[in-house]
Every structure is written in structure tokens, then in C-alpha cells.
Structure 1
Amino acid sequence: MQALTYCPLRCGAHISANTPCKIAFHPAHVKIDRRSSIVVHARYSASGGSWNATPGVVDRVVAALPYILPYFDAVAYGRYLFHIYPAARAAIQPFLPAMSLYHSLPFGSFIAFFGLYIGVVNNARFSRFVRFNAVQAILLDILLALPRLLETVMSPPTSGWGAQLYIQSQSFIWVFTTMLIVYSIVNSFLGQWARIPFIAEAADQQIR
């Protein structure tokens, strides 16, 4: 803030202590530093529904169906567990006919994969809720194929502690995958977004 002092003097006038002076205040010389912050609260919404939209009954059922694909492909990892614990095999007994038909079809997994991706994920007529779960199921199924690809490069051990570790890892994959699938299906039926860590972020990128 700057104040300027001036006196109304004429040319040749003498300044004395009694000379009246005026103080002029110029607002133009005042500098005001204003700092403000703007907080934007955004909610993502686009065609095909929003993140916060409540899905209908049909969308909930359709969103749960794609998880059948990774469930059928994960059953191979539980073969040792089914042999050790017959109760675990009894849990999948009702699905065995459908699994046998699915695996008996030539390129059945590839047909289901591309059919799901083209028919559901890239179909804007389906809601965002359905498409998100379809992508998440596909990505989960892709991750299940990685251990199989590793086995084509490295033969699994057949004896010793290596074989025990291999059996335990195979059983763990089946148990963990089954838990994720059950979690996703239950949330889909409840109309809630089942967000699997890391996989959900990749699914978000696919449907934007």
C-alpha cells in the first residue's frame, strides 16, 4: 500500500511548518494478493449408464453370467484338490456336464472369449455395469492362461518338494479364483460393482 503526500503550492512559494498539506490515497497503487483454490467434484458419466446408476434385475443377471467363463477354465487347477478332498469335487458336481461340453468344443474358450468381447463389451446397448463385469471376467480368464503358458516353457516337477509346491500352487490358484468369482457373482446379483484389485482398473480403461 502506497500513500503519496503533496502540497498545493504555487511557483515560488515557500514551505513552512504551517503550510497545509493533503494526503492523497491512490487505490491504483494497492496490490492485493488473492489466492483461491477451487475444488471440483466430478462424477463420471457417459453413454451406457453411469457408475452410480442402479442396475436393473436383467442387468444384474447378465453381468453375472460372464464369470462362468473363468470358472470353467479354472477347474483344471483344482484337479489335485478334488483328488485329495472329495467334498471339493462334490461342490462342482452340478456343473460338470456343462464343463465337459464347454471343453469338448474345438476352440471353445476362444469362441466364448471373442463372442463375449464382441457381443457384450463392444455393444453399447448393454449398460456400463454389464460391460464392466464382462471385461473383468475376460481379464480374469486371461490371467488364468498365464500359468498354462509357463508350463509349456518349463515342465512341472514330478517328485520331491518341487512337486509338492506345484500341487499347492495349482490348488491355491483354483481356491483364490473361485473366491474372486463368487465375490463378483454375488455383487452382480446385488447390483453392486465387484471391483477386483488391479483387474478393475484395467476394465475401466476398456469401456471408456
Structure 2
Amino acid sequence: MSWDDSTPWSERVFGALPYLLPLMDAIVYGDGQYIMRQFPTITSIGLLPIIPFVQIYAQFIRLIPFAGLILFMGLFFAVVRNENISRFIRFNVLQAILLDLILMVCNLVLPIISQGIQLELLTETLFNTIFLGIFATFAYSVFKTVQGQYAEIPAISNAVNMQI
């Protein structure tokens, strides 16, 4: 689904910001693990612009119990369910929330898989795939949103369209 050039820049910026949430949660799979250790220069340059957001988010999570749940509920009820906010922003916020939910499932399942298999290569492959997948989705979504278009991610965008 395409959006025309009449999308205001403020909506484009507010539509792109929520994609930081799944990216910051995916850094766990890259930071101190495999890919950032193998390619420290490339990943530090690629993630340099979001370092202040990551630091603020990390402090927020450490200081407030259930901060992730509070943020999730706040975004869902204050933005996604608010009919006064444009559909473009609500679409992007809900899509970012669903990406973050996928990461939450990975956070629950991967420790079980990595302990049960005990293969470093498989664990490294899983962690790198998750990090690179979320990073690519982040880059694509932000690029499309800044252009004023909907970022169509298979299956996730269909679920978002059914909810909005």
C-alpha cells in the first residue's frame, strides 16, 4: 500500500520512531555476542546514531519494573487505539509492536534451544539471523516511512491492517 507525498514530515518522523523499540531489543542478540564481536567497526558505525536512544532505553528498563510492559501498553492504548492519530502513525506503531512481540517470543524460546543443543555454530547462527533480520526490517521500515509510504512486511502488515 502506498502513501502519497502529502504525508507531513511530522507524521513521517513519528511513524519511524517506534521502529527503534524492536531494534533496541534486538541489540541483545548482537551486542557482546557474535556479530558485533566479529565486525566491531561496521556494527558500531551502523548503530552509532541510535546509541543515545539505547542508553536511555536501558536506563528506563533498569529503573522501572515491568517497563517493557508499560511501554507496550502505553503505545498500544495511547497511539494505536486513538482514532485522533493518523492511520499512518498508528500502522507503524502497531507494526513495531508486533516486531517487538516476535523478539519477546525469541527471548523465551532461544535460551531453551541454545541449552538443549549445545552447538556454538547453531546458537551463533540463530542470534545473527535474529539480529540481522530485525536490523534489515528496521532499515527498510524507516526508509519507507520517511518516504511517506507504508512499510509492507509480509504477514505482519496483514495483521496490522486487520487490527486498524
Give 1:142's match in structure 2, choosing from 93, 101, 104.
101
Tell me which residue corresponds to 1:127: 86
Residue ranges of structure 1 left out of the alignment (5+ in a row):
1-50
> 2:137 is matched by which residue type in structure 1?
L
**Greater Rg by CA:** 1
Match of 1:124, SS? coil
Q: 1:205 to 1:134 in 2, by over 3 A?
A: same
CA distance in 1, matches of 2:57, 2:37: 18
CA distance in 2, matches of 1:113, 1:206: 16
Aligned 1:153-192 pairs, distance under 5 A: 153-156=112-115, 162-192=119-149
Query: How far has the Cα of 1:90 moved from its partner?
Result: 4.3
Q: 1:183 to 1:73 in 2, by over 3 A?
A: same
More strand by share: 1
> 1:143 is matched by which residue type in structure 2?
I
- RMSD of aligned C-alpha atoms? 2.2
Tell me which residue corresponds to 1:83: 37
Aligned 1:41-56 pairs, distance under 5 A: 52=3, 54-56=6-8
> 2:157 is matched by which residue type in structure 1?
A
Query: How far has the Cα of 1:119 moved from its partner?
Result: 0.8
Give 1:71's match in structure 2, choosing from 2, 7, 23.
23
Tell me which residue corresponds to 2:10: 58
Match of 2:115, SS? coil
1:204 maps onto 2:156 in alignment: no
Tell me, yes or no, if the aligned pair for 2:15 and 2:88 is still in contact at 8 Å. Answer: yes
1:104 maps onto 2:62 in alignment: yes
Query: How far has the Cα of 1:155 moved from its partner?
Result: 4.7
CA distance in 2, matches of 1:66, 1:115: 12
Q: Which moved more, 1:150-159 or 1:198-207?
A: 150-159
CA distance in 2, matches of 1:99, 1:93: 15
Residue ranges of structure 2 left out of the alignment (5+ in a row):
none
What TM-score comes out, normalization by structure 1 length? Answer: 0.68
Query: How far has the Cα of 1:98 moved from its partner?
Result: 2.7
Measured against aligned partners, the alpha-carbon deviations of 1:45-98 in whole angstroms (never above 9, x if no partner) come to xxxxxx756421111111111111111111001132112221113432451423
Tell me, yes or no, if the aligned pair for 1:69 and 1:112 is still in contact at 8 Å. Answer: no
Q: 1:124 to 1:70 in 2, by over 3 A?
A: same
Tell me which residue corresponds to 1:4: none
Match of 2:84, SS? coil
What TM-score comes out, normalization by structure 2 length? Answer: 0.84
Q: Which has the higher contact order (CA 8 A, sep 6+)?
A: 2
Match of 1:70, SS? helix
More helix by share: 2
Aligned residues: 156
Query: How far has the Cα of 1:101 moved from its partner?
Result: 2.0
CA distance in 1, matches of 2:105, 2:154: 18
Q: 1:102 to 1:85 in 2, by over 3 A?
A: farther
